[in-house]
Amino acid sequence: MTKKKTLVVTQVASPIRRPKIQRAILKGLGLFGIGQTRELEDTSSIRGMIAKVSHMVKVADNA
């Protein structure tokens, strides 16, 4: 059985006064407040979303 690689994403900044698309990306990642953490599967689509809001999130590998 293969273990899927995951990323631990934590929101560190507020989406207030940010473009609507960035707020929508945070919601798509499942982040709704500063300090909230989610463990997400490491896929190219998730990486792309993180790249768009990299200034508002902190990412750690969870191998």
Task: Provide the residue ranges of all domains of the chain, joining segments of one domain with +.
Answer: 14-62
- Residue 45 three-state SS: helix
From the candidate CATH numbers 3.40.50.2020, 3.10.28.10, 3.30.1390.20, 3.40.50.720, the one assigned to the domain spanning 14-62: 3.30.1390.20
How confident is the model at residue 8, as a pLDDT?
97
- Rounded to whole angstroms, the Cα distance separating 60 from 6 reads 9
Asked whether the whole model's pTM tops 0.75, one would answer yes
Residues 7-53 have pLDDT tens digits of 999 999 999 999 999 999 999 999 999 999 999 999 999 999 999 99
Q: How far apart are CA 3 and CA 16, in angstroms?
A: 37
Task: Quickly tell me which residue has 């609507």 as its tokens.
Answer: 20
Residues ≥6 apart with Cβ < 8 Å to 9:
29, 31, 37, 38, 39, 40, 50, 57, 58, 59
